[in-house]
Structure 1
Amino acid sequence: MTALPLDIRQERPEDAQAIERLHARAFGPGRFARTAYRLREGAPLLPELCFTALVGTYLVGSIRFSPAVADGHALLALGPLTVDPSFSSRGIGCSLMNAGLDAARAAGHGLVVLVGDLPYYRRFGFSPVPMGRLVLPGPVDPARFLWLALSEGGAEGVSGNVSARAGL
């Protein structure tokens, strides 16, 4: 496999259309009905935590974070993490995850949640949310509802209904 000239950088406003096309290619039109999308509805992106991956000038990946809340406790909702299907299995998602999680830790965030495959996200330290601890705004396979404490005690006392935190 040839190494890609990969550039990971913060998302820019002019990336929005390319990211939307990437999401459409990767997830299709049904993505808007998923609980993970409903969780982020109405919440602004946190630009300092959103990154893109480019090969040359072609946008091949994106990671985004939005603010969320669980009964008064601030947390982050990760997603989507997207890699162009024609560029999968080349470490792009891993590079984006590391950039996003490093930035979230550096910014002092305590906890991040997502809906995804445990076998993939476990390598970054994610584990299933304990049953009944947090509740999403729609149905989700409990084995796919994951969290990661970004700091010591980041998950302590966090419980309840999770919703987007709008108006930041």
Structure 2
Amino acid sequence: MAALLNSVRAFFTPQTFHVDQENPGDVVARENLLDRAMGAGRRRKSSEKLRAGRVPAEGLALVARDEDGHVIATVRLWNVEAGISREGRAVEALLLGPLAVDAAHEGKGIGSALMRAAIAEATRRGHGAILLVGDAPYYERFGFFANKAQHLIMPGPFERSRFLALELKAGWLEGAAGLLVANGRRLSA
């Protein structure tokens, strides 16, 4: 019911934000937002093991800005290998997360706008699939489902029902099995 109400609110709320590429000046605002939205334990999650020491996938670090240019939401996608194919080749994919919206701006469609922008940009850049760990009822509206990730595992504890995937190219994850491994560019020292 809450999701339905948020959708109705978003429909009638004038858009007072815009989606933009993250820039180096956004780091402090992004990190503060993530700390508030995700809590102190956010760095202990299995997904963080895949992000640690890496930079987001090219062109896939997005923010939403309010009318004054302040960061009010964020989403980033990361290069990973999603197990191996039946032929024994690494399956390139993206890991999405975290997605966070400032509490003062929830229910305005900002998270949905970021998701749509991230999916569109990943598709435009030729990626084959996006994986995430998150709330299935929320992410299913964007085409993410657990069955697409059923033979893949995270590098640490995770809830199987929350491990979801979206194929941007039909059949991309078919036959993929095994552990997700980070393979994106490393942070420079």
- What range is the shorter-chain TM-score in? over 0.9
Gaps of 5+ in 1: none
Where 2:97 maps in the other structure, the secondary structure is strand
Match of 1:138 in 2: 156
C-alpha distance 99-166 of structure 1, shift in aligned 2 (>3 A): closer
How far the C-alpha of 1:129 sits from its partner, in A, is 4.0
Contact map agreement 2:56 2:184 (CA 8 A) in 1: no
More strand by share: 1
User: Deviations 1:60-112 (Å, cap 9, x if unpaired)?
Assistant: 10110010012311110000111011211110000000000000001110011
For the 8 Å contact 2:167–2:173, the answer to whether it is kept is yes
- Aligned partner of residue 54 in structure 2, secondary structure: coil
TM-score (norm 2): 0.83
1:94 to 101, 112, 115: 112
Aligned to 1:75: 93
Q: Matched residues in 1 for 2:183 and 2:21: separation?
A: 22
How far did 1:42 drift? 2.9
Percent identity among equivalent residues?
Answer: 36
- TM-score, normalised to structure 1's length? 0.93
SS at match of 2:98: strand
Q: Answer yes or no: is the 8 Å Cα contact 1:10–1:47 preserved in 2.
A: no
Contact 1:4 1:55 in 2 (8 A): no
Secondary structure class of the residue paired with 2:73: strand
CA offset at residue 131 of structure 1? 7.2
* Alignment length (residue pairs): 168
Gaps of 5+ in 2: 1-8, 85-89
Once residues 9 and 163 of structure 1 are traced to their aligned partners in structure 2, the CA distance between those partners, rounded to angstroms, is: 28
Q: CA deviation at 1:58?
A: 1.8
1:152 paired to 2:170? yes
SS at match of 1:48: coil
The CA RMSD measured in Å over matched residues stands at 1.6
SS in structure 1 of the partner of residue 156 of structure 2: coil
- Say which one has the larger Rg: 2
CA distance in 2, matches of 1:80, 1:30: 13
